[in-house]
Structure formats: C-alpha cells, structure tokens
Amino acid sequence: MEKEKEIRRGVGFRSYSQGIRISLRLRRSPAVEAAEEEEEEEEGNQGAELDEEALSNVTKQKVSAAKQYIENHYKEQMKNLQDRKERRMVLEKKLADADVSEEDQNNLLKFLEKKETEYMRLQRHKMGVDDFELLTIIGKGAFGEVRICREKTSGQVYAMKKLTKSEMLRRGQVEHVKAERNLLAEVDSNCIVKLYFSFQDDEFLYLIMEYLPGGDMMTLLMRKDILTDDEARFYVAETVLAIESIHVHNYIHRDIKPDNLLLDRYGHLRLSDFGLCKPLDCSTLEEQDFSGGSASEISESEERSGASKRTQQEQLEHWQKNRRMLAFSTVGTPDYIAPEVLLKKGYGMECDWWSLGAIMFEMLVGYPPFYSDDPMATCRKIVNWKNHLKFPEEAMLSPDAKDLISKLLCNVNQRLGSNGAGEIKAHPWFQGVDWDRIYQMDAAFIPEVNDELDTQNFEKFDESDDTPDRKPSSKSGPWRKMLSSKDLNFVGYTYKNFEIVNDCQVPGMAELKKKKGAQPKRPSVKTLFGTLAILFPNYTAYIGGHSFSIQVNIPHCHFI
Ligand SMILES: Nc1ncnc2c1ncn2[C@@H]1O[C@H](COP(=O)(O)OP(=O)(O)OP(=O)(O)O)[C@@H](O)[C@H]1O
C-alpha cells in the first residue's frame, strides 16, 4: 500500500539554483501517471509537492542524490559560461591596448575559441584511474593508500589517494569522506594541500592532489628527534595558519597530527587528510570507560611495564619504535585528540588547538604529552590530562613554550584560540614571527628532493595487494551510475579543479607581479602570449611569423 502510494505520487521537486527549474519524476506506469495528472488538476496543480512522509527512505535518498547531481551540473555549466565570457573579454581588452596588427588580433581570438572548444571537451572527459600511470606508494592508511602517479596525457605528477568505498560504508565514514572532498574543493589556501580531481569507480574513491615531496611531519620528527625552539616555532606558526584557514570556512579537522602535516618542495607546511578521522574505538566508549585514569592508577600500570622509570631519552626511543606501527594501524594514534572529542561531549573548533598543543609538545620534548604503551591508557591520560601533563626537566623548555602548551592543553573554556587564532598568534612565544610573510620565507628545513618523482622523504611501502586496482566502472551514462544503490552514497564526489590558476608558474609573470608597476602599459605580443598561457598552458603559437612555445605546468588546466 505504502509502495503504491509512493509510485502513485511519484517524486517531484523544484530547484531554483541559478534560475533553473528542475522537476524530477521517478518512473511510473502510464496509467498511474494519468491518474496522478487528474488528481493534480483536481488539487489545483499541487501534486508536485512532496508528501514527505509517504516517501520511503530510499526514494528520498534517490531524490536528494538526483537533486544534488543536477544542481551541481547546472551550477558548473553556468560558471563555465561566465568564465568563458570573461576570458574572451580579458583577451579583447588586452588586444585593444596592444601593439598588434589586426591580423594577429584575429588569429589570437580564433586561437582562443579553438582552445575553448578543446577545454570544453576536456571538461566533459570522464576521469578515471586509467588516465594515470600508478607509481610509488608513499602512504597507507586505514581506508586505502596514497601513491604518486603521472597523468598520461599531460605527464603531470600528482599524489593519488585511493579509498575503499566498502570500508568507508562499513565504518560509517561516508560523511567524513564527503567533507574531505568538499573542504579540499572549497578552501583555496597556501596552507592546504590542493585537490585537482576527485572521481570514483565501483569500489574506490580517488582524490588526485598535488604531490608534496618534502614528506610529512611525523617522518621529520622521527629523523630529528627534537626540534629547537626556532624550528618548532616555524612549523607551529604555519600550522596555526593552516588551522585558521579551515576554521574560517567553518570546518573542524579533529584529527590534526604530524602525519597530516605535509611539507612541500621548499619545506613549507600544508595540512591534509580532512574528515577521515579514524576514531580509536575509545570514541565509542562512554565516560565511565575512561575511569581508572587517576595519576596513581596509571602510574601503577606504567610501573608494572617499567614505563614510569623511563628517562626522556628512553621514552623518546620507545615512542619512535611504536610510532609507525600506530600510524598505520587501523585504529590510528589517539595522542593528539582533544579530551572533549574522545568523550563525545560535543566539541567545537577548539579541539584543533588542543592538537596543536600536543604537536608542539612533541616537537620540543620528543614524544607527545600523554604517550603510553597502550593506546587506551593514552586516552585515559588525555581525559585526565590535569594529572598527566608534565614537562620533563631534561627537555629544558623555555617558560614561554611551557606557557603556550599549557594554554592549549587545558579545558575548552580556557583554551587559547577559543576566540580565534589571533589569541594564539599574540602569545609571546611567537614574538618576531612575521605572520603575513612566513610562507614566503625560507623554511626551517629545506627537504632534499632530486626530481619530481623523488620519494626519499617517505617511508618505503610494500606493493602488497591489499586494495587491488580495478578497472573503472563502465561509462554508460551518469544516471545509471548515480542510481546504482552503492554509488548513491557518494553522489557529488566527482570534481575537476579548473579554477586554481597560479600565474606565478608562468615564466615571467611572477617577476612582473613582484615588481609592481613593471608591467608595460601596452603589452607586447609576448605579454599577450603570457596571458593566453595562463588561460591555456602548454601550447605553441605562431604570431607575427615567430613561433612562441611555453611549457607551463598548470595541471588543473592540463594539456590544452
Ligand atoms: N598530497 C600528498 N603528497 C605527499 N604525500 C602525501 C600526500 N597525501 C598523503 N601523503 C602521505 O600519505 C600519508 C597518508 O595520507 P593520509 O593521512 O591522507 O591518508 P589516510 O588513509 O587518510 O591516513 P589516515 O590513516 O591518517 O587517516 C601521509 O601521512 C603522507 O605521508
């Protein structure tokens, strides 16, 4: 009966996004359709409105998936049209001001149109794992692996993160993975790893990101043991900026740890791994499960294992021995998670500032503040942090460093950063930090990177076939795919970033930008060529009998 009602009503909705009205009906028999039309007329044409309760959950899910798909599609199309118009206008304006013959002007405009057509074709191209040559594995996590890869057509090198859908579903991580994709697509910041494409096949989700060859902070800390105050200040300051840049977009990371702080070619830090927090199973525990966390109870158990007698150096060595194992285990390390997150009490952005405090402690002391042989004991220590936060004397932390850590590892309502990142930036430990220029300055360490495929700053991983590569699913149209029950969960995941145009990668443009006002008023053909190159890199043009060839790596606008 319910079902019949559902079929009789059909499903309709209207979307007024970008001025486009969409109404969708799921399949009904012609007889049902006719009956419904009659009914609609009788009801004064109100039949398209949803009777929310009459719809099954699956139908509602399908409707919302279809709605999202169509809205995304039209939104993107409108934006593309607008962008195309703007590119034409920019070029026309430049041409009007330029010292170029009419013939050259026409040639350039024709060239632009040709490139636009190719660009549109490229946008329609359905990306799949087959578009990439898969190279070395550089990371493994609970849901999949990260490896470097090369796009076959452009030759561009990326990092490909591959996540197993079934695993995400099993662990209820679907919303998290969507959050990760959304954040990466939405936040365009120097401090965040850049996302170029995301796509999926039947079994996996793929994120194609920039490859950051400097390695991660976990590896750096394992190689260096501890950092000096100045070195730590540099990385902590860049982490503050990275956290701030996601908070201003109303995202909370919740899982900030050294493994998620990546270093670029020049040693500058970028935050990654959004929304895939792997809650140690203690996050499903209730408050009483954290009982037994008093100083004396934990000391007793640590005494039994000999942990309480360890010197700072011994504790550091013990930590390092366990660290990789913890990082690659399915439960992950809880060492940086805020107590309110562990207790599921409801948490806000402050939890990321707690993680910052734990990372800063590790940078200066050598191991995180609540480290214990057993991850459950670590959770207990975090929840009972007042009894367990101790600065080893041998570490000789400066009073300012201790003060900042203590103001980050504390109750939420007293935590520095609760009123914005400005509070943290103003702390005396950061005195002398030029917050506006830190990303332009030399990093504390410049990583050794010999070529674009160099992975020396990463651990070596086995090519064992945990998550076998599969062929991408058939390309028989988005609707069929969208409505297959498995993929409904991941609708809206696919993404191409054609937007981040980094003109500093265009030879000559960066210099022009630096020397303000140096750009000639009447641009030469060469400058015009630069403009076109920004729009459409990697091409050779013949202007005024000269051939100009520029190789520009703007991967998201690739191979046009
Ligand atoms: N864009 C990138 N460039 C270089 N290395 C990367 C990149 N993304 C990830 N990595 C490497 O892969 C490791 C795992 O990545 P990430 O944490 O995103 O994966 P994950 O499966 O979500 O792991 P986790 O188990 O921590 O959730 C990182 O610690 C880093 O060493």
- pLDDT tens-digit series, residues 234-253: 999 999 999 999 888 888 88
* Least confident window among 25-39, 85-99, 165-179: 25-39
Please tell me what DSSP assigns to residue 15: B
Nearest 5°: the CA angle 165, 77, 181 is 25
Helices (H) and strands (E) in the chain, counts: 20, 10
User: Among 262, 265, 452, 454, which residue has the most ligand 1 atoms within 8 Å of its CB, making it the best to mutate?
Assistant: 262
Q: In CATH, what number is assigned to the domain containing residue 399?
A: 1.10.510.10
pLDDT at position 53: 62
pLDDT at position 163: 85
| 147 and 222 fall within a common domain | no
pLDDT at 514 over 60: no
Tokens 């860049």 correspond to what residue?
238
- Taking a C-beta distance cutoff of 8 angstroms, is the pair 312, 365 a contact? yes
Nearest 5°: the CA angle 351, 400, 234 is 70
pLDDT at 1 over 60: no
Please tell me what DSSP assigns to residue 373: S
User: Among 132, 160, 216, which residue has the most ligand 1 atoms within 8 Å of its CB, making it the best to mutate?
Assistant: 216
| 333 and 413 fall within a common domain | yes
SS3 120: helix
> Which of 440, 475, 502 delimits the end of a domain?
440
Phi, psi dihedrals of residue 162, rounded to the nearest 5°: -115, 125
pLDDT at position 330: 52
Q: Could you tell me if residue 539 is inside a domain? A: no
pLDDT at position 254: 84
**Whole-number average pLDDT of the chain:** 72
Q: What is the distance in A from the centroid of ligand 1 to the CA of 339?
A: 24
Which residue's CA is the closest to the ligand 1 atom numbered 19?
141
Closest to 213 (Cα-Cα) out of 24, 449, 44: 449
Closest to 238 (Cα-Cα) out of 402, 139, 332, 359: 359
pTM (predicted TM-score): 0.65
pLDDT at 150 over 70: yes
Q: What confidence tier does 365 reach under pLDDT thresholds 50, 70, 90?
A: very high
Other beta carbons less than 10 A from residue 94's beta carbon: 19
- For residue 22, what are the β-bridge partners? 15
How many independent structural domains does the chain possess? 2
- For residue 204, what are the β-bridge partners? 164
Q: How far apart are CA 328 and CA 216, in angstroms?
A: 14
Q: What confidence tier does 464 reach under pLDDT thresholds 50, 70, 90?
A: low
The residue with greater pLDDT, 120 or 203, is 203
Other beta carbons less than 10 A from residue 403's beta carbon: 15
Q: What is the distance in A from the centroid of ligand 1 to the CA of 140?
A: 7
- The C-alpha torsion from 36 through 42 and 44 to 47, rounded to 10°, is -20
End-to-end CA distance of the chain: 56
Which residue's CA is the closest to the ligand 1 atom numbered 4?
212
User: Among 132, 146, 164, 269, which residue has the most ligand 1 atoms within 8 Å of its CB, making it the best to mutate?
Assistant: 146
Which residue's CA is the closest to the ligand 1 atom numbered 13?
139
| 207 and 225 fall within a common domain | no
Phi, psi dihedrals of residue 309, rounded to the nearest 5°: -90, 0
The residue with greater pLDDT, 89 or 482, is 89
Which residue's CA is the closest to the ligand 1 atom numbered 15?
139
pLDDT at 212 over 50: yes
Instruction: Taking residues 145-163, report their average pLDDT.
Output: 92
190: domain range?
129-212+460-467+483-493
pLDDT at 222 over 70: yes
Q: Could you tell me if residue 112 is inside a domain? A: no
Which residue's CA is the closest to the ligand 1 atom numbered 17?
273
pLDDT at position 7: 33
Q: What is the distance in A from the centroid of ligand 1 to the CA of 217?
A: 11
- Taking a C-beta distance cutoff of 8 angstroms, is the pair 319, 372 a contact? no
Q: What confidence tier does 414 reach under pLDDT thresholds 50, 70, 90?
A: very high
pLDDT at position 499: 39
Q: What is the distance in A from the centroid of ligand 1 to the CA of 526?
A: 41
Q: Could you tell me if residue 192 is inside a domain? A: yes
Which amino acid, residue 327?
A
| 422 and 369 fall within a common domain | yes
pLDDT cut 70: percent of the chain above it: 61
Alpha helices, H only, 225-374:
229-247, 295-305, 312-328, 339-342, 350-365
Q: Could you tell me if residue 147 is inside a domain? A: yes
| 264 and 186 fall within a common domain | no
SS3 269: strand
Instruction: Taking residues 118-146, report their average pLDDT.
Output: 84
pLDDT at position 305: 58
| 141 and 177 fall within a common domain | yes
Q: How far apart are CA 169 and CA 49, in angstroms?
A: 32
* Least confident window among 93-97, 130-134, 527-531: 527-531
The residue with greater pLDDT, 382 or 104, is 382
Q: What is the distance in A from the centroid of ligand 1 to the CA of 513?
A: 33
Q: What confidence tier does 488 reach under pLDDT thresholds 50, 70, 90?
A: low
User: pLDDT digit string (tens) for 281-307?
Assistant: 444 444 445 555 555 555 555 655 566
Instruction: Taking residues 494-500, report their average pLDDT.
Output: 52
pLDDT at position 24: 40
pLDDT at 405 over 70: yes
The residue with greater pLDDT, 92 or 16, is 92
Q: Could you tell me if residue 351 is inside a domain? A: yes
Active-site residues, by number, are: 255
| 185 and 234 fall within a common domain | no
Atom of ligand 1 nearest to the CA of 163: 21
- Taking a C-beta distance cutoff of 8 angstroms, is the pair 534, 501 a contact? yes
Other beta carbons less than 10 A from residue 330's beta carbon: 12
pLDDT at 461 over 80: yes
Which residue's CA is the closest to the ligand 1 atom numbered 16?
273
Encoded tokens for 168: 């995400």
Atom of ligand 1 nearest to the CA of 458: 31
496: enclosing H helix or E strand: strand 495-496
Closest to 93 (Cα-Cα) out of 109, 81, 82: 109
pLDDT at position 495: 63
Which residue's CA is the closest to the ligand 1 atom numbered 24?
141
| 318 and 176 fall within a common domain | no
Q: How far apart are CA 190 and CA 197, in angstroms?
A: 18
Q: Could you tell me if residue 208 is inside a domain? A: yes
| 373 and 488 fall within a common domain | no
Find the residues whose C-beta lies inside 6 A of ligand 1.
138-139, 141-144, 146, 159, 161, 193, 209-212, 216, 259-260, 262, 272-273, 276, 278, 332, 458
| 197 and 235 fall within a common domain | no
pLDDT at position 306: 60
Q: How far apart are CA 394 and CA 68, in angstroms?
A: 57
- DSSP letters for 126-168: PP-GGGEEEEEEEEE-SSEEEEEEEETTT--EEEEEEEEHHHH
| 325 and 185 fall within a common domain | no
pLDDT at position 231: 96
Instruction: Taking residues 466-475, report their average pLDDT.
Output: 34
pLDDT at position 57: 78
pLDDT at position 196: 83
| 252 and 396 fall within a common domain | yes
Atom of ligand 1 nearest to the CA of 273: 18
Q: Could you tell me if residue 527 is inside a domain? A: no
Q: Is 5 annotated as a binding residue?
A: no
Q: What is the distance in A from the centroid of ligand 1 to the CA of 316?
A: 23
Q: Could you tell me if residue 432 is inside a domain? A: yes
- The burial of 394, by beta-carbon neighbours within 10 Å (0-12 exposed, 13-18 middle, 19 or more buried), is given as exposed
User: Among 259, 264, 278, which residue has the most ligand 1 atoms within 8 Å of its CB, making it the best to mutate?
Assistant: 259
pLDDT at 31 over 60: no
The residue with greater pLDDT, 267 or 556, is 267
Closest to 222 (Cα-Cα) out of 333, 336, 320: 320
User: pLDDT digit string (tens) for 344-360?
Assistant: 877 889 999 999 999 99
pLDDT at position 501: 27
Q: What is the distance in A from the centroid of ligand 1 to the CA of 49?
A: 45
Nearest 5°: the CA angle 186, 191, 192 is 40
Atom of ligand 1 nearest to the CA of 257: 26
Q: How far apart are CA 134 and CA 129, in angstroms?
A: 9
pLDDT at 23 over 70: no
The residue with greater pLDDT, 88 or 291, is 88
The residue with greater pLDDT, 73 or 85, is 85
Closest to 496 (Cα-Cα) out of 84, 120, 66, 65: 120
Phi, psi dihedrals of residue 341, rounded to the nearest 5°: -70, -45
SS3 510: helix
Q: In CATH, what number is assigned to the domain containing residue 179?
A: 3.30.200.20
